[in-house]
Structure 1
């Protein structure tokens, strides 16, 4: 392989293959940096399980929900969201799809989303069929030290096995639930 030299800089000229490899390395480096930063921010913002969590709750229709019992059988996804949250309008259809598959229990907590009637109207308007607890004052979310919506918690045997925030694709949630059932 012969190397040509740029007369102006006295440096070897890069071949197209070397240029392409340089671009690939740069993209991989930036991708790795993004993944590290994203993971760190997600870890920092994730909900934190309270010392004495309230796991026996009522949904907006007055039905009793026992998260500890639900998570004893299978990992249970708890999804914190709000009707006012623009990102939640992207993630809630994914949660609805996951709940419809009925492979894992899904319980959602609507934070500061109005009265039970207003919440029922919103759920009906968007064809959401997931189990929903109405956290009218945000006390449940505050108890979990929630910082951002949407946030997710996976419970296994009444204990938090994972916590995450932001947009999560369906495959990621399925993988996380499966991993919580295995480990």
Structure 2
């Protein structure tokens, strides 16, 4: 009789664990769906006639269309004032250091000298365009920072927002080059 009680207790624990596991999976799937929908809604939108020939904060010409014809290029919209960007910018710097084509656009981050000081202080070496008035970001209908765009052959192939791990960005650039 005690064996029967023990079996029922074990069965009850298993049922409880399965129930908890189902709940975790359900909430996880709901999170993924909601996160994906919000990310899609907030992503930048490529303008009809985008300005792809820009000048970085040091006065060097940057041709996003030409870069993206060579290989998919990541455009990273960020700001020195953005607290989330303080977590994502080191990842972007690493991506650029690893040889991936990355152009960053600093939104309303002060003068070129202010931006230079910030980049030097943080030891960032990625190529940066200073969007002092936020006009470029507005043109792309940007809503949040950080935001990212993958350009391929002068066209936007992907847009995303929020924190992105290095492996995810590398995967996105690789997928853009394959498909």
Closer/same/farther in 2, CA of residues 3 and 110 from structure 1, 3 Å limit? same
- Separation in 2 of the partners of 1:169 and 1:27? 23
Deviations 1:141-178 (A, max 9, x none): 00000000000000000000000000000011011111
Partner of 1:78: 75
Q: Deviations over 1:86-133 (max 9, x none)?
A: 00000000000000000x210000000000000000000000000000
Q: Which residue of 2 aligns with 1:24?
A: 21
Instruction: Write the distance in 2 (CA, Å) between the matches of 1:13 and 1:134.
Output: 63
User: 2:149 matched to which residue of 1?
Assistant: 153
Within the candidate set 120, 123, 137, 1:124 is matched to 120
Pairwise CA distance, 1:44:
0.2
Counterpart in 2 of 1:139? 135
Structure 1, unpaired ranges of 5+: 7-11
| CA root-mean-square deviation | 1.8
* Alpha-carbon distance between aligned partners in 1 of 2:36 and 2:23, rounded to the nearest angstrom: 20
Q: CA deviation at 1:17?
A: 1.1
Distance 1:3 1:119 in 2: 70
> Secondary structure, in 3 states, of the residue corresponding to 1:15?
helix
**Structure 1 residue 39 corresponds to structure 2 residue 36:** yes
Residue 87 of structure 1: aligned partner: 84
Instruction: With the length of structure 1 as denominator, give the TM-score of the two structures.
Output: 0.92
Query: TM-score, normalization: structure 2?
Result: 0.94
What's the secondary structure of 1:174's corresponding residue? Answer: helix
Q: Which secondary structure does the structure 2 equivalent of 1:167 belong to?
A: coil
Structure 2 gaps, min length 5: none
Corresponding residue SS for 1:160:
strand
Give the corresponding residue for 1:54.
Answer: 51
- Matched residues, number: 176
After TM superposition, the structure 1 = structure 2 runs for residues 165-180 of structure 1, keeping only pairs within 5 Å, are 165-180=161-176
How far is 1:14 from its partner?
5.5
Q: Displaced runs of 4+ in structure 1, greater than 3 A?
A: none
- Please list the CA deviations of residues 21-57 of structure 1 after superposition, one character each: whole Å capped at 9, or x if unmatched: 1111110000000000000000000000000000000
Determine the structure 2 residue equivalent to 1:105: 101
Partner Cα separation in structure 1 for residue 88 and residue 103 of structure 2: 14
